[in-house]
Amino acid sequence: MSERRISCDLRTDHDCEVSGLPAEAWAEAVFALPDEEIVVEINADQAPVISLSIGQHVAWKGTLEDLKTILLGEE
């Protein structure tokens, strides 16, 4: 059996929680809104890669360092 590289937790404001979902290479969370779907995927097969998509037409994919740079406004 391969080493578990990702552990996933999901929490909501209704006191619902799922913890410790194991993943070896990737994990994905899908949030379905009435008119849109938001997907967050983490792939840790090698260096962590994060994919974010909103619906079918807006998407971003990059490394963890790329995302940190964007969030810190250092572009």
| pLDDT tens per residue, range 34-63 | 999 999 999 988 888 999 999 988 899 999
Short-list 35, 69, 28, CA closest to 55: 35
pLDDT of 2: 58
Cite the beta strand spans of 1-75 per DSSP E: 6-11, 17-23, 26-32, 37-43, 49-54, 58-63
Structure token pair of residue 2: 């391969």
pTM of the model: 0.79
Flag whether 41 is in a domain: yes
Flag whether 50 is in a domain: yes
pLDDT of 7: 82
Structure token pair of residue 72: 């810190």
Flag whether 12 is in a domain: no
Domain that holds residue 41: 24-75
Short-list 3, 75, 1, CA closest to 44: 3
